[in-house]
Amino acid sequence: MKKNIIAVAATGIVLATMVSCKPKNAGNAVSGDAAQKSFVAPGKYDEYYNFVSGGFSGQLAVYGLPSGRLFRVIPVFSVDPEKGWGYSEETKPMLNTSHGFVPWDDLHHPELSQTNGEIDGKWVFGNANNTPRLARIDLKTFKTAEIIELPNSGGNHSSPFGTENTEYIVAGTRFSVPEDGAGDVPINTYKKNFKGHISFVSVDKESGRMKIAFQLKTPGVNFDLARCGRAKSHGWFFFSCYNTEQANTLLEVNASQKDKDFIMAVNWKKAEEYIKQGKGVKKSVKYAHNVWNEETHTATSTIEKEVLVLDVAELKDICYFIPCPKSPHGCDVDPTGEFIVGSGKLAAVIPVFSFDKLQKAISEKAFDGDYQGIPVVKYEAALYGEVKKPGLGPLHTEFDGKGNAYTSFFVSSEVVKWNIKDLAVIDRVPTFYSVGHLCIPGGNTRKPSPKYLIAYNKITKDRYLPTGPELTQSAQIYDISGEKMQLILDFPTIGEPHYAQAAPADVIRNNGQLKIYKIGENKHPYVSKGEGEAKVIRNGKTVHVNMTSIRSHFAPDNIEGIKLGDEVYFHITNLEQDWDVPHGFGIKGANNAELLIMPGETTTLKWVPDRTGIFPMYCTDFCSALHQEMQGYVRVSPANSTVPLTFSIGTNIPKAENK
């Protein structure tokens, strides 16, 4: 420690003295070369992609590191009129649930897929907290490709964390609830009727297709976060749990009674053995499974009826509870797979558990009794050691692969770097303010890429120009390439930047990025492959308009013979075959949104005219010098009109009547 101080003093870094007196004003915590370190020149690429959850926006934002530039907001669980997500006929089924169409959710955690414990650039997963679901986003298209609902769950917070080869993505329920179909029970029967369920969702290696392989039925507690074992601990999963008091009211007080809650260690290989022996029980439930088809550009929603459940109180050796101080939030496994770091929100220490010691304790049955049928491992028997007095309110830990851990502290607004082996604090830096999760690119893998650390803050206060009562949310980037952490950039984010993951840019940009949909491979049932196929067809009161768009006109662009009471479906095929040339479509009075149609894609807008008259339609995405010319008219006549159905482009049908 003394040596450290001397070294720092000798190098004359002003920052060190500032850190020790914890500046209230952030400006002076930034040293001179910060701009240089975060600057990415115009036209140059960033080093990393940063996938940042939008929290209550329900979406996933994609930023570049170290510039903090926003590239894209991927609509996931919430409708997005800008992209037609949840408004076009093709995307509506993606937001279907057993409760019907749900237009909003709360996305907290992104999880990048891995192969052999490293980020493979295929998919990123996201969790829906409110109406429990998992989403898979395809990183070739940056589009949500699949959403699966989770039965027996309430508040899907302990999710979507994955295993080393993305064999499974897990989904642990935050709220314990009565099992689906349990009927009408009083809330005060929590202890008797409320259960936790952890879903293990398998992911097909090639297609990415998800399936609820099984659920573990656990005692009723709150599950918060989770991490898979890796390398030597592959085959295990670790979940933080709180409210082991089993309170169902005023949890702020009633769930903070005990000195220790638990980290639940799950041997999922053991669960697989039980399933092979036929020990699981099939339960009748109801959940939606929504899949996007890249060939038809259309989603389908299927209601599934069954789930396989393993009761971990009956089926021994799947689960063990490890006591962990005071309402643990983070439950993070280091790159070697040996150390499991618990972060008790209300604790004064950070306990570090040893996987080897845990295995020994289990084999020697070093238990402190059981909790509702699950063995409780003796704290000391699994403990490697504690980081003493690290700060106030530890939340979450990421790793640099060089033997160091970085833990966020919500209450004391700081990031603390400490050494895993000797549990000594190396450095601490302030955050502005109230940091939640941290991210190091690959920080949850076998091979982190420890150049930057990003802190995602809960409170912004005075960091930016004020914008009324609601302020932007904020993230901060630290250079962690040296011994000391250095703040180099603040950047504002959408929604709540709850958690994020980052990947080296090349892993994703070289994964076979889709630039266009090949028009020849378009299998949409209403595709128009060329203007020659554009047409308008009446089928009773339903009218299908198969329309094309190309710079800079629609075909057809004059349509007559639509009548009041008709339901009109505009199926628009973008005939462009060049990267970055989407067309948009808007029509007056549409009660939904615009369409944004990618090159070679077909997308459908339903339009029910509410009055007679002439309705303009136009391209909404600036496409060429003649973009403002990309427009047309639809004539809506009275219900009993005899105006024939006609459509045209370039010439008047019927002939012009102007005199």
Binding site for other proteins (CB under 8 A): 43, 45, 516, 518-520, 529-533, 548, 550-553, 555, 575-581, 622-627, 650
- Of 128 and 534, the one with the shorter C-beta distance to other proteins is 534
Task: Report the candidate in 255, 242, 223, 211 with the shortest Cα–Cα distance to residue 153.
Answer: 223
Positive or negative, the CA dihedral 70, 72, 76, 78 is: positive
The nearest distance, CB 600 to other proteins, in angstroms, is: 9
- Of 354 and 624, the one with the shorter C-beta distance to other proteins is 624
Distance CA 410, CA 345 (A): 8
DSSP run (H or E) holding 199:
strand 196-203
Residue indicated by tokens 């998992």: 134
- Of 529 and 535, the one with the shorter C-beta distance to other proteins is 529
- Of 226 and 519, the one with the shorter C-beta distance to other proteins is 519
Q: How many C-beta atoms lie closer than 10 Å to residue 352's C-beta? A: 23
Q: How many C-beta atoms lie closer than 10 Å to residue 41's C-beta? A: 7
- Of 464 and 622, the one with the shorter C-beta distance to other proteins is 622
DSSP run (H or E) holding 268:
helix 268-276
Cα atoms found within 13 Å of the Cα of residue 599, Cβ hemisphere only: 12
The nearest distance, CB 449 to other proteins, in angstroms, is: 22
Distance CA 438, CA 225 (A): 14
Contact 196, 172 (CB under 8 A): yes
The nearest distance, CB 524 to other proteins, in angstroms, is: 14
Query: Token digits for 452?
Result: 């930057």
DSSP run (H or E) holding 126:
strand 118-128
Distance CA 121, CA 163 (A): 15
The nearest distance, CB 515 to other proteins, in angstroms, is: 9
The nearest distance, CB 575 to other proteins, in angstroms, is: 6
Whether a cis peptide bond, with omega within 30° of 0, leads into 430 is no
CA dihedral 73, 76, 80, 84 (to 10 degrees): 110
The nearest distance, CB 602 to other proteins, in angstroms, is: 13
The nearest distance, CB 332 to other proteins, in angstroms, is: 37
- Of 509 and 588, the one with the shorter C-beta distance to other proteins is 509
Contact 74, 142 (CB under 8 A): yes
Phi, psi of 553, rounded to the nearest 5 degrees: -155, 160
- Of 205 and 627, the one with the shorter C-beta distance to other proteins is 627
Which letter does DSSP use for residue 532 in this model? G
Whether a cis peptide bond, with omega within 30° of 0, leads into 433 is yes
Residue indicated by tokens 């009660």: 591
Task: Report the candidate in 411, 415, 403 with the shortest Cα–Cα distance to residue 455.
Answer: 415
Distance CA 299, CA 94 (A): 6
Task: Report the candidate in 190, 193, 209 with the shortest Cα–Cα distance to residue 201.
Answer: 209
DSSP run (H or E) holding 63:
strand 60-65
The nearest distance, CB 528 to other proteins, in angstroms, is: 9
- Of 296 and 336, the one with the shorter C-beta distance to other proteins is 296
Largest CA distance in the chain: 100
The nearest distance, CB 143 to other proteins, in angstroms, is: 19
Return the SS3 of 293. strand
Q: How many C-beta atoms lie closer than 10 Å to residue 401's C-beta? A: 17
The nearest distance, CB 627 to other proteins, in angstroms, is: 6
Residue indicated by tokens 């308008």: 536
The nearest distance, CB 454 to other proteins, in angstroms, is: 25
The nearest distance, CB 580 to other proteins, in angstroms, is: 5
The nearest distance, CB 534 to other proteins, in angstroms, is: 9
- Of 140 and 378, the one with the shorter C-beta distance to other proteins is 140
The nearest distance, CB 522 to other proteins, in angstroms, is: 10
- Of 44 and 447, the one with the shorter C-beta distance to other proteins is 44
Return the SS3 of 363. helix
Contact 62, 508 (CB under 8 A): no
Q: Mention every residue, 6+ apart, whose C-beta is less than 8 A from residue 33.
A: none
- Of 176 and 548, the one with the shorter C-beta distance to other proteins is 548
- Of 305 and 518, the one with the shorter C-beta distance to other proteins is 518
For 216, left (φ over 0), alpha (ψ -120 to 50), or beta? beta
Distance CA 555, CA 573 (A): 10
Query: Token digits for 550?
Result: 């190309």
- Of 291 and 623, the one with the shorter C-beta distance to other proteins is 623
Cα–Cα distance list, 477 to 48, 63, 112, 513, 535 (Å): 12, 12, 20, 27, 53
- Of 532 and 540, the one with the shorter C-beta distance to other proteins is 532
Phi, psi of 250, rounded to the nearest 5 degrees: 45, 60
The nearest distance, CB 451 to other proteins, in angstroms, is: 22
The nearest distance, CB 556 to other proteins, in angstroms, is: 12
Distance CA 243, CA 343 (A): 15
